Amino acid sequence: MTEAAKPTVFIDNDKVRVTEWRFAPGAATGWHRHELDYVVVPMLDGQLKIVTEGGAESIADLKKGIPYFRETGVEHDVINANDFEFAFIEVETK
């Protein structure tokens, strides 16, 4: 069984939810659907493997502090493709 990524919720109010996600090497979020728009801010440089519907895989090259935005409805599994711990901050807008 794949190790699970570890979420820590720092803020959860009526406007936003801010979660730090930490991934050991090979750890995964598990399949999920985003119910809110969100921004991800990587805490260091690294790669994440993204698995989408039908098992399509891609590699996301992330740079420390460079955010990206996704809209509600994204479905995927996110896996740490590095040989070191990886982390990012996810800000969901309510």
Please check whether residue 1 lies inside any domain of the structure.
no
Q: Using CA atoms, how far apart are residues 36 and 74, in angstroms rounded to an integer?
A: 9
Confirm whether 53 is domain-assigned.
yes
**Domain housing 11:** 6-93
pLDDT, residue 63, reads 98
- Distance of alpha carbon 83 from alpha carbon 79, whole angstroms: 12
pLDDT in tens, 33-45: 999 999 999 999 9
Predicted TM-score of the model (pTM): 0.94
pLDDT of residue 2: 81
The answer to whether position 69 is within a domain reads yes
CATH number at residue 39: 2.60.120.10
Total of domains in the chain:
1
Q: Residue 91's pLDDT is what?
A: 98
* Within a domain: 80: yes
**Which portions of the chain are predicted below pLDDT 50?**
none
